[in-house]
Structures are given as structure tokens and as C-alpha cells.
């Protein structure tokens, strides 16, 4: 409308210059023909329309240029063209990293709580698996009595707690109920955000696969938990008259799955946060990657990876110790009885064989003989501690120390402190015959030491995907740093053009 008024005003000025007849001068001047007036009006309209089109074309050109600047530079390769057409982003949202780390912290907590549940003999108090209706505890006296009657039919009540009353049963019931409720919370607080982040395209395709995998692992962990509890509700897995317990194999599988889930969440979250931190300063990130690619750090990187596997193996050995209550025998250190190891006849006892020819003698005793299981755990624990000390000494050599980044050096120092703490907790737990506070702290220390190894290994890695993003950021900084400004300009242009 404004452009039309401008054209009419210019036409009016032009018309004022044409002689027009007036009363006194009618005889001296000539009137303007009507056709000439129509021509002037049409010319004014054409001028206004052309001006409007030219302005719109300029704004459309500006918007096109801004859009091209916000997009990555054009490449000839087909893979990069497919990347442009993909609806998933190149980087994960920062909130995804914080959420993953928070979920890992929650898994850390439930691992410690699960250890307390086992130590207080509360894990077999709930004899049914009800994933939905079991979220609420018994709400009436009749419901409590019904749950107590089910527990009284279990081997644990008959052999271990025949004098337990309803009030004592409620204490162990709430321990196990809180553990299961916490597991449901972890599942819901992970699966629902996973669906949201993938649907809203807040994660990369690779991260989307990771989130789906972790969600599946959480569901599988719930199944393993019930599979473990179910083994303690029957008396066919332990000798008649012995202490009722769950299968040590299933307990080990349950703990191993929890540790894997924790490590997966932690590394994924740290990766997201690290990528955002590096992209804030691509030049410094490129220098850091160049330092990590030094051949000097290759041996250190492999040593940390091997140490991580060794720590995880020691954790599994500790789960066997817990499942067999092997910590309640030989409560001295460093000796076991009169020597540093029990007699060979005790370590390899044919009592644990299930084949007549004795072909399963050695591995049955390693996994089912409490004496040999405790000895194996001691050997693995001391080997792990020695490996951590050796890694620390190796990192202090002049050549490695000069090439090692500062954050890696701090991580190695932290691992040494965690290993010292874990060894101290293990020895005191054994010597004081497995008190609940020390035993729970010892289990938490195992996960903390594994965390230290994972963090150091993560800091030594050079992720190819992150490195590619850093290179793109160096080549086209506006792709990562100018997107916000480009979106604002696009919004302004859209408002002016009426788009």
C-alpha cells in the first residue's frame, strides 16, 4: 500500500506541471485531454508495482543468502549431501549429556542400595514379580498379612528367620520394595526422555542407537533381577540345611549388567559434554587431539584399557564372593589360616564336582568353592592394586609426563587414591567379618574405581566423530557459532516479506 501511494504522489507532481484551464485564462490555455490523464494514472500504477516487486526480490535474495550462510559449505561427496538432507543434527543437545550423567549417578545409587538389600537379607522378602501393580506397597493389614504368609512359605523364612514377626518383616520388605521402585524410576526416567529426544531430533543417529540400546539393557536388567530372586525361593540350588541364598551366577550377572549400564550411560554423557566443550574453541581442540595422537601415549592408552578390564573382572569375582558368603571365612590378611593359601585339598575339593570323572573339578571349585573363590578374589584385587600403582609410576616418567595432558594426569592420580581406599575397605571388611556399612562402602568403592578408569580412558581417546566436527568448525565456523544469529535474521526477513 505504501508503494502505491508513493507512485500516485509522483504522478500528481507530474500532472501539476501540465497546463490546466482556469476561468480567466480559458481562452489562452488548452485543457488536458482525458486520455492523457488515464495514461498518467496507469504509468503511476506500473511504477508502484515495479518498485514493490523489486523490494520483495531484494528481501528474498537477502533471506536466501542468510540461509546459505547458515548451512554447511557445499561438498561434492554424496555422503555429505545425504547429511544435509537428514533430519537428525550433527551434534547432540547439551541437555542430553547432563541427563545421561544424571542417569549414571542414579544407577550408581541403586547399585549401592542393592548391596544393602543383599547384606540385610531383604532381597527375598517379596516373592512375586509384579512390574506394574507392585509399585505400591501393601495398603491394608490384610494385604500385609498376605505378603507375610507368602514369605513364610519361602526357604529363607523356614531356615533363617522362623521367629520373625510382622513388624520385622515390614522392615526388610520396604528395603526390597524401595530397590524395585528405584529400578522402575530409572527405567521410566530414561525411556520417556529417550523417546522425546529422538522424536524431537535432539540427538545424532549414533546417539539414538545408544539410547535405544541402554533402554533395552535397563529392561533386561529388571528381568535378570527377578530371575536372580527366583533362584532363592527354591531350595534346589543349595545343599539341604545350608544358608538360603540366591544363585551366585545370577547375582554376578545382575551386578555385571548394572555396571555395564552405568558405564554406557557415563561414557555417552561425557562424550556429549566433551564435544560441546571442544567446539567452543576448535583451534584448542585441534591442538589437544594432535597431542593425544602422539605415539608416546599409545602404550598408556592400552594400559588403561587393560586395567579397566582387570577392574571389571575383579568386580565379578567380588560378586561371587558375596553370593557364596565367602567373606565370612578366613577373616585375616594377608594369610588364610596358617599359610597364605588354604591346603590344596580344600581348594580343589571333589565335593563340588557333578561329573563322575571329575572333569569339572577345577572350574566348579573356582566358581562354587568359597575358599578358592575368596583366594581368587584376593589375587585379583592385589593384582589390580599393583597395576594401578605401576600405571601411576609409568605416568610419572619424564617421557610420558611431558606428553600426557593435564586432565589425564589428574585422572591417573585419582585412580591411585581410589585404589588405596578400595584396598583398605576390602581388608577391613574382611577382618571385621563383613559389617554392613563397610561392605556397602566396599561395593561403592569398586564402582568408583571403575569410574576412574573409564574417565581416564575417555580422556585419552580421540573420537573420530568429534574430530570431524572440530575440522568442520575450523573450516566453517558459522556452521556452529553463527546459527543463532542466522535464525534471527531469517525471522526478521520472513516478517517483512509476509512469509
Check residues 422 and 474 and name the one with the higher pLDDT.
422
- Tell me which DSSP letter residue 324 carries: H
CA 118-124-128 angle, 5° bins: 135
Residue 220 binned pLDDT confidence (cut-offs 50, 70, 90): very high
Check pLDDT > 90 for residue 308. yes
Identify the CA nearest to 363 among candidates 371, 317, 372: 372
In the chain, the N- to C-terminal Cα span, in Å, equals 17
Rounded Cα–Cα distance for residues 201 and 184 (Å): 26
Task: At 149, list the grid cell.
Answer: 504368609
pLDDT interval class at 133 (50, 70, 90) = confident
CA distances for 83 relative to 78, 79, 407, 469, 479, angstroms: 9, 6, 33, 13, 14
- Phi and psi torsions of 339, nearest 5°: -130, -175
Question: How many CB atoms neighbour CB 459 within 10 A?
Answer: 22
Beta-carbon neighbour count of residue 467 at 10 Å? 16
Is residue 468 very low, low, confident or very high in pLDDT (cuts 50, 70, 90)? confident
> Average pLDDT for residues 54-65, to the nearest whole number?
50
Give the confidence band of 464 by pLDDT, cuts at 50, 70, 90: confident
3-state secondary structure of 245: coil
Three cell numbers written together for 359: 572333569
Backbone φ, ψ for residue 198 (5° rounding) = -75, -40
* Confidence label for 60 from pLDDT (cuts 50, 70 and 90): low
All three cell numbers of 349, joined, read: 575339593
pLDDT of residue 82: 45
3-state secondary structure of 336: strand
pLDDT in tens, 350-403: 999 988 888 899 999 999 999 999 999 999 999 999 999 999 999 999 899 999
Amino acid at each position: 500500500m505504501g508503494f502505491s501511494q508513493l507512485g500516485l504522489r509522483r504522478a500528481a507532481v507530474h500532472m501539476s506541471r501540465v497546463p490546466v484551464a482556469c476561468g480567466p485564462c480559458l481562452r489562452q490555455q488548452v485543457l488536458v485531454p482525458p486520455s492523457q490523464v488515464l495514461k498518467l494514472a496507469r504509468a503511476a500504477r506500473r511504477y508502484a508495482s515495479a518498485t514493490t516487486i523489486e523490494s520483495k526480490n531484494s528481501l528474498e535474495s537477502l533471506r536466501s543468502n542468510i540461509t546459505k550462510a547458515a548451512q554447511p559449505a557445499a561438498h561434492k561427496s554424496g555422503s555429505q549431501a545425504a547429511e544435509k538432507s537428514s533430519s537428525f543434527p550433527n551434534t547432540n543437545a547439551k541437555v542430553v549429556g547432563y541427563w545421561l550423567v544424571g542417569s549414571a549417578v542414579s544407577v550408581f545409587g541403586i547399585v549401592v542400595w542393592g548391596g544393602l538389600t543383599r547384606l540385610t537379607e531383604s532381597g527375598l522378602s517379596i516373592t512375586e514379580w509384579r512390574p506394574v501393580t507392585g509399585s505400591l506397597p501393601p495398603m491394608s493389614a490384610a494385604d500385609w498379612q498376605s505378603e507375610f504368609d507368602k514369605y513364610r512359605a519361602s526357604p529363607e523364612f523356614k531356615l533363617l528367620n522362623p521367629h520373625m514377626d510382622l513388624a520385622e518383616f515390614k522392615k526388610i520388605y520396604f528395603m526390597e520394595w524401595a530397590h524395585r521402585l528405584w529400578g522402575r524410576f530409572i527405567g521410566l526416567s530414561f525411556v520417556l526422555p529417550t523417546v522425546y529426544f529422538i522424536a524431537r531430533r535432539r540427538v545424532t543417529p549414533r546417539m539414538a542407537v545408544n539410547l535405544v540400546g541402554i533402554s533395552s539393557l535397563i529392561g533386561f536388567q529388571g528381568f535378570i533381577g527377578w530371575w536372580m530372586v527366583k533362584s532363592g525361593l527354591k531350595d534346589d540350588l543349595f545343599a539341604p540345611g545350608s544358608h538360603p541364598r540366591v544363585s551366585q551366577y545370577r547375582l554376578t550377572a545382575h551386578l555385571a549388567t548394572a555396571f555395564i549400564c552405568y558405564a554406557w550411560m557415563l561414557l555417552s554423557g561425557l562424550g556429549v559434554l566433551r564435544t560441546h566443550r571442544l567446539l567452543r574453541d576448535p583451534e584448542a581442540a585441534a591442538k589437544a587431539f594432535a597431542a593425544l595422537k602422539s605415539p608416546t601415549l599409545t602404550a598408556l592408552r592400552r594400559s588403561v584399557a587393560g586395567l579397566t578390564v582387570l577392574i571389571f573382572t575383579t568386580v565379578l569375582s567380588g560378586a561371587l564372593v558375596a553370593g557364596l558368603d565367602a567373606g565370612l571365612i578366613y577373616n585375616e590378611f594377608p594369610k588364610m589360616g596358617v599359610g597364605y593359601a588354604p591346603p590344596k585339598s580344600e581348594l580343589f575339593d571333589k565335593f563340588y564336582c557333578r561329573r563322575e570323572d571329575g572333569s569339572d573339578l577345577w572350574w566348579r571349585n573356582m566358581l562354587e568353592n568359597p575358599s578358592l573363590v575368596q583366594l581368587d578374589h584376593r589375587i585379583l584385587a592385589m593384582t589390580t592394586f599393583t597395576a594401578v600403582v605401576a600405571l601411576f609410576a609409568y605416568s610419572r616418567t619424564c617421557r610420558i609426563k611431558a606428553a600426557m595432558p593435564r586432565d589425564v594426569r589428574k585422572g591417573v592420580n585419582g585412580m591411585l587414591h581410589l585404589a588405596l581406599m578400595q584396598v583398605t575397605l576390602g581388608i577391613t571388611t574382611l577382618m571385621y567379618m563383613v559389617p554392613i556399612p563397610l561392605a556397602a562402602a566396599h561395593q561403592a568403592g569398586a564402582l568408583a574405581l571403575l569410574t576412574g578408569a573409564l574417565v581416564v580412558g575417555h580422556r585419552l581417546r580421540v573420537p573420530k566423530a568429534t574430530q570431524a566436527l572440530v575440522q568442520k568448525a575450523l573450516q566453517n565456523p558459522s556452521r556452529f557459532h553463527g546459527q543463532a544469529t542466522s535464525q534471527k535474521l531469517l525471522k526478521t526477513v520472513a516478517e517483512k516479506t509476509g512469509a
